Amino acid sequence: MNMKRIGLLLVALGVAGLACVSAEVQVRVPEDHQGGLYNAVSVSPKTEEYILSFLMQDKTDENEYIVDEYMCEEFAADLWWNAYNEGIEGCIVWVYTGEGFHTLVKFHTVDGELWVEPSLDFTSSSCWYEMWKTFCGENAFNKYLNTLSTQPPKVDVGFSK
C-alpha cells in the first residue's frame, strides 16, 4: 500500500470534505448518449499500471465542480463511464466518511482493487471508509445513466490500449 497516496487522499477528503473540489479549468463537455445495453464482455480487470496510465490521460478531474449540479457523484459517474469505454472493470461506490457521504470509483485490478477519488485522481489500494452502496457492472451502467442522462461525458479520453 502506498502511504503517500493514502495520505494525499485523506488530506484531500479532509480538506475538501464532501465537496469533491477540483481545479476549475474545464467545463464538462456534453455529448449525446448513444444508448444501448451494458456489455459485460467488454470490460475486465486490468493491471494497476494500466489504470494509472488511463487516469493520467482521462480529463474527468479537470471538470468544473458546480454545487448541486456537478459534484462527487457526477465526477464518479464520468470517470466510471470513461473507464468502461476503455474496457476497464470498475464500480461506483458511495462511502460514509463520518461527516457524510462521498462517491469514489473502485477499479478491479488483476491483483486486487484500486480506489480513486475522481475529482483529484488520488488513488489507494484500499478503502478505509464504510461502504454504503456499491454499483458494479450493469448497476453501475444504470447509475451512470440515471446520474448523467441529460449530458453524458465526452468518451474520447485519448487513451490508447
List, for residues 80-101, the tens digit of each pLDDT value. Answer: 999 999 999 999 999 998 888 9
Q: Which CATH architecture has domain 3-13+43-148?
A: 2-Layer Sandwich (3.30)
Q: What's the pTM value of the predicted model, to 2 decimals? A: 0.72
Q: What is the pLDDT of residue 98?
A: 86
Instruction: Give me the chain's average pLDDT, please.
Output: 77
Domain ranges of the chain: 3-13+43-148
Confidence class for position 71, pLDDT limits 50, 70, 90: very high
Percent with pLDDT over 70 in the chain:
69
The one-letter amino acid at 94 = W
**Secondary structure of 74-117 in HEC code, one letter for each residue:** HHHHHHHHHHHHCCECEEEEEEECCCCEEEEEEEEECCEEEEEE
The one-letter amino acid at 27 = V
| Cell numbers representing residue 119 in the block | 475529482
- Evaluate whether 148 touches 74 at the Cβ level (below 8 Å): yes
Reported as half-sphere exposure (CB side, CA atoms, 13 A), residue 161 has a value of 8
4-13: list long-range contacts, CB under 8 Å, 24+ apart: 5/122, 5/123, 5/124, 5/125, 6/124, 6/126, 8/122, 9/115, 9/117, 9/122, 9/123, 9/124, 12/117, 12/120, 12/122, 13/97, 13/102, 13/117
Tell me which H or E stretch contains 45: none
The rounded distance, in Å, linking the Cα atoms of 137 and 141 is 6
17-59 confidence digits (pLDDT tens): 333 333 333 334 333 345 567 888 899 999 999 999 999 999 9
